[in-house]
Amino acid sequence: MKKYGELIQFEPVISNIELEDSEDYDKAKSLVSSYVISEKMSQKLSNIIIEQLQYEEFVDNKALWIVGNYGSGKSHLMSVLSAIAEFPDLAESITNKEVRESAKRIAGKFKVIRFEIGATTMALTDIITANLTEGLAKMGIDFQFPPMSEITSNHKTYFEKMMAVFHKKYPEQGLLFVCDEMLDYFRSRNEQQLPLDIAILRVIGEVIGDTRFRFVAGVQEAIFDSTKLEFLSKEVRRIRDRAEQVLIAREDIKFVIAERLLKKDAQQQAWVRQYLQKFTPYYEKMNERLDEFVRLFPVHPDYINTFENIRMAGLEQRQVLRSLSRQMKALMDQDVPEDIPGIFSYDTYWEELRTEPSMRTNPEVGQVIDTAETLIDRVEQAYPVAGEKEFAKRLVAGLAIHRMAVGDIYSEIGATATELRDSLCLYLKNIEILPGDKSKNLETQIVSVLGKIRNTVNGQYFSKNRTNDQFYLDLKKTEDFDAHIEQKASTLADDSINSAYRAAMLEILEQTDTQQSHTAMWQHELKWIEKNINRPGWLFLGSPNERETAKPPLDYYMYFIQPE
């Protein structure tokens, strides 16, 4: 059997990329050559980003807002753009042919000022003008913006004057102003401060249309859709009209992982495909997603999807990428298993989540960790089938991560046995010997294990939504009364169960006096709606073959048969 290292051309993703790294030519060249470009990102780069940055052909140039979560490659993309714009020969290092050709329109045609907004209480206008002044000074250009108190209208005139001074020294070039981590700054501003902050962005958008000044900003979410700015909807619309948002999609992130962490040549892909095909009957959509499984092997595609949905503080996507890198590094010398799918999914992040002290600083994350640890400890101590214990702990770990991906950790939203089977690539040894549908057999076994987990923990912190069969960690459920009832019922003799069932039905049906001696039979009436009259009949607790003939005979019998 092959080792994982024989199937993957592994390149770890460990360090964070700082925007200012692209100021250094050697670092910039490395950043450009290592940037992996998906087909969709290729189109965005050529048709939107480069089109908006170039100034040799007339278009309605606008500001660019790069939107991507932590770990999405946002800072890498912005570093690549600024490097190409500043260093003319770096366009040749671009890995995508179409983008390489398109990038010639901006290669080396800009002077670049880069900055990140840190922890500050300064107004955005002051931050921007200070960084512009400092950046221009490094180029040997002396330009000062007047203080806010001396400006009677807005800054547009001064930006135009700045560009006029800039062109005296660099008549053939544009000025690219690149800013990262802007969203955190906006989150720190109050409703009195934000209007002025927004105003300078509107000015920048207007200046871009008339000059060779260009602006690129990086944010973690679409800023124009932020609820924090709802009270400034009119002003935000004016900025949006002068801006292009470029979203780094989940597919782009998967492409980066496939091409950097998990790159495979054609021969390696063929081996992985053949290996996975024997497991496709066990998973509902693996066969139709086989290309994706092959490209990302041994990482489950849903690993990325799940973490895309996590928005809790302390769980950033870049941490997940680092985790993937560490897991892959540990796997490289291990054999790919023959009898189970050698795929790992989001449940494997549990151990890292549990052992990282900083994760517990977020109260919600901490509560999920504490709850899952309680359940896993209980499974370790009391789960009834030793051979299924690790499988059961995987299910709890998967549900713990899933709990943080649904938005509200207290909601009754979870995952069905089918979803858990497919999203975690769960597999029980010897499941293949069972007759019938393989995926259904595996689902049935998972339901069985989930039931045993619930019994093991007495239902504490573990629930099933009966309307949709979703299982989830129930963080508020310290007592499971249904489980107590089931446990009590399992110890009762048949006669006791019959008596309890009869008493419950009598209370529900509001019947008190029997109408037939020695039988569980009561007189009853049903309304005949069309005739507006009542028809008499008999209620009977039991099956038809158990009843005696009622006297007097009436119009109908209604049977309540005790469930199995």
Q: How far is CA 396 from CA 100, 206, 305, in A?
A: 47, 54, 19
User: 526 in a domain, yes or no?
Assistant: yes
Cα–Cα separations (whole angstroms), residue 471 to 191, 340, 396? 42, 24, 10
Write the single-letter amino acid at 540.
F
Cβ distance 494 to 516 under 8 Å?
no
Nearest of 461, 312, 334, 315 to residue 399 by alpha carbon: 461
pLDDT digits (tens, 9 = 90+) for 206-246: 999 889 999 999 887 766 666 656 656 667 777 778 889 99
Contacts of 459 (CB under 8 A, 6+ apart): 477, 479, 480, 482, 483, 484
Mean pLDDT of the residues in the chain: 87
- From 416, 446, 481, the end of a domain falls on 481
Residue 472, beta-bridge partner list? 463
The confidence score (pLDDT) of residue 563 equals: 67
Q: Tell me the pLDDT tens digit for each residue of 519-559.
A: 677 888 888 888 889 999 888 877 777 666 667 888 888 88
Do 396 and 307 share a domain, yes or no? yes
> At 538, is the secondary structure helix, strand, or coil?
strand
69 and 187 fall within a common domain: yes
Residue 259 lies in a domain: no
Considering the domain architecture, whether residues 25 and 56 belong to the same structural domain is answered as: yes
pLDDT at 251 over 90: no
Domain membership flag for residue 10: no
Residues 155 and 28 in one domain: yes
Q: What is the domain range of residue 272?
A: 264-481
> Residues 342, 413: one domain?
yes
Q: How far apart are the first and last CA of the chain?
A: 49
Distance separating alpha carbons of residues 29 and 26, to the nearest angstrom: 5
CATH number of the domain that residue 207 is part of: 3.40.50.300
Number of domains in the chain: 3
- Is residue 13 in some structural domain? no
Residue 257 lies in a domain: no
Residues in the chain: 564
Q: Over the stretch 110-125, which tens digit does the pLDDT of each residue have?
A: 999 999 887 788 999 9
Q: Is 511 found in the same domain as 458? A: no
- Coil, strand or helix: which one is 184? helix
Does residue 242 sit in the same domain as residue 315? no
Q: Check: CB of residue 22 under 8 Å from CB of residue 82.
A: yes
Q: Are strands 521-528 and 462-465 parallel, antiparallel or unpaired?
A: unpaired
What pTM, to 2 d.p., does this model score?
0.71
Same domain, 63 and 200: yes
Distances (CA, A) of 423 to 107, 398, 399: 43, 9, 11
Tokens 């089938």 belong to 385
Is 14 within a domain?
no
Q: What is the pLDDT of residue 307?
A: 77
Q: Is residue 254 assigned to a domain?
A: no
Instruction: Answer yes or no: is pLDDT of 441 > 80.
Output: yes
1 within domain boundaries: no
Same domain, 471 and 497: no
Split at pLDDT 50, 70, 90, the class of 444 is very high
User: Which parts of 431-532 are beta strand (E)?
Assistant: 462-465, 470-473, 521-528
Q: Can you give the pLDDT at residue 111?
A: 97
Listed ranges 180-194, 308-322, 442-456; the one with the highest mean pLDDT: 442-456
Q: What pLDDT is recorded for position 315?
A: 58
Beta bridge mates, 558: 539
Task: For residue 42, give both structure tokens.
Answer: 């290729």
- Please give the order of strands across the beta sheet that includes 63-67: 110-116, 174-180, 213-219, 63-67, 243-247
Residues 199 and 67 in one domain: yes
Question: What is the arithmetic mean of pLDDT over 129-135?
Answer: 96
Tell whether the model's pLDDT for residue 202 goes beyond 80: yes
Judged by DSSP in three states, 75 sits in helix
Q: Which of 75-89, 171-185, 192-206, 456-470 has the highest mean pLDDT?
A: 75-89
Cβ–Cβ < 8 Å for 425, 395: no
- Per-residue pLDDT band for 438 (boundaries 50, 70, 90) equals very high
- Where a domain ends, among 450, 481, 512? 481
Question: What confidence score (pLDDT) does residue 313 get?
Answer: 47
In the numeric block, the tokens 């770890």 are attached to: 12
Please say if the pLDDT value at position 497 is more than 90. no
Cβ proximity of 419 and 404 under 8 Å: no
- pLDDT reported for residue 359: 80
Tell me, yes or no, whether 513 and 396 share the same domain.
no
Tell me which of 40 and 560 has the higher pLDDT: 40
Do residues 420 and 382 both lie within one domain? yes
Specify the DSSP class assigned to residue 258.
I
Mean pLDDT of 401-411: 89
Q: Of 446, 481, 516, which one is at a domain's C-terminal end?
A: 481
Which of 44, 111, 101 lies closest to 74 in space, CA to CA?
A: 44
